[in-house]
Amino acid sequence: MDRSQFTVHDTGRLVRTLDGNLAFVPAPLPPKIDIPLELMRRLSDADRAIGTLGGIGRILPNPHLLTNPFLRREAVLSSRIEGTEASATDLALFEAAGSPSSDQSDVREVSNYVVALNYGLKRLDELPLSLRFLREVHAKLMADVRGGDRAPGEFRHVQNWIGPAGSRIDHATYVPPPVQEMHTALDRFERYLHDRSPMPVLLRAALIHYHFEAIHPFLDGNGRVGRLLIAFLLHVEKVLDEPLLYLSAFFERHRREYYRRLVEVTMNGAWNEWIDFFLRGVTEQANDAVRRTRELLDLSERYRRQIAPARNAGVLSSLIDRLFAVPATTISSVAENLNMSYPAAKKNVQKLVALHILTPWRRKRETIYVAEGVLRIIEAP
């Protein structure tokens, strides 16, 4: 890193690594910042958008089934920021197949994100948002994927850095704290997580996400854990009754600005610009979630009207519910999950195929039945 690029000194301090390179140690949270009127308006817009989304979430007939599409969209787009190319359709086929092939490393990473997010949301009923919690989530995220040999679930014991692939530390774009300073920074970070600050939750979320990325405590997976941390914080603070708001779609869509805003906090103390960007993302993604929720509800109602005349409409309704949670299935999976024989499961699946609710996709030796209508809503830009 170039010392001359750091124009302020209250965001953190520069230190030397063991081999003499410069590294950055962020100052403890919260920073001393003045919130201008325009930023308060941005915060008001974000709060209003979340309120609208929360109102819809409270009237969902079965919230769990309609939150799963948002969770999977978040997994796809957060992983895409890190270079994966898997889509929501790839994820659905992967989950339905049950025995993935060895050439699906990208979709396995996305699947792990789903596992880590689900694990974290449930684990928060037993464990506070803490360093231990983040290590557990990281272990789920990095199990048996690229970077899985880089101490999953453990904070790093060596220096890391950010830069172009194959670059050396002396050409790094950013060098986070050396290990000893990292542990001190993490202790202070955890204290701030537990602090009952009067600061609005969305402002705290913006500060916490930046700070975690600046500490960069894992050898791999820091970006994904940092974005998961936003979702977990909003859940703990009960910003929404149901986990419907995720920001990775916004960050992925504005990827260059996302990284630039984080760097400018470190080098120039540009907190207000980062917070403005973050709140704009909250507003856009809350509005987007409102639209997609309505589309999913409309689709669900349309499917139910289609199956209403059927003699076994109740069974078909249960099958449709599962398709909103995981929008691809096999006959064997239907038989197992609905506790019926294989012939009965096949008969019910074929009814949904005839109604164009399911579409058969031939994958190697197995046919997977895909709810393309659900996936279109998840994958729409």
CATH number at residue 333: 1.10.10.10
- Mark which of 291, 316, 333 sits at the end of a domain: 291
Residue 374 belongs to domain spanning: 308-379
Q: Is residue 268 in some structural domain?
A: yes
Buried-state track 25-54, b at ≥16 Cβ within 10 A, e below 16: bbbebbbeeeeeeebeebbebbbebbeebb
Same domain assignment for residues 239 and 276: yes
Say if 298 falls within a structural domain: no
Is 300 within the bounds of a domain?
A: no
Domain identity same for 150 and 22: yes
Is residue 63 domain-shared with residue 119, that is, in the same domain?
Answer: yes
| 37 has pLDDT over 80 | yes
pLDDT at 148: 64
| Domain shared by 267 and 230, yes or no | yes
Of 240, 258, 291, the domain-final residue: 291
For residue 273, pLDDT beyond 60: yes
Residue of 363 and 176 predicted with greater confidence:
176
Total domains present in the chain: 2
pLDDT at 150 over 60: yes
Count of CA atoms in the C-beta half-sphere (13 A) of 91: 29
* One domain, residues 201 and 324: no
- Pick from 242, 211, 236, 238: nearest CA to 226: 211
Check residue 102 and give its pLDDT. Answer: 44
Q: What is the CATH number of the domain that holds 122?
A: 1.10.3290.10
Q: Which residues pair with 368 in a beta bridge?
A: 361
Residue 202, class by beta-carbon neighbours within 10 Å (0-12 exposed, 13-18 middle, 19+ buried)?
buried
Does the pTM surpass 0.85? The reply is yes
Please check whether residues 200 and 136 belong to one and the same domain: yes
- State the virtual CA torsion across 115, 116, 117, 118 in degrees, nearest 10: 50
Identify whether 301 is part of a domain.
no
Show which of 260, 291, 322 is a domain's final residue.
291
Residue 296 is assigned to a structural domain of this protein? no
Average pLDDT over residues 148-161: 90
Is residue 347 one of the residues assigned to a domain? Answer: yes
* Domain assignment present for 299: no
In a domain, residue 313? The reply is yes
pLDDT digits (tens, 9 = 90+) for 316-360: 999 999 999 889 999 999 999 999 999 999 999 999 999 999 999
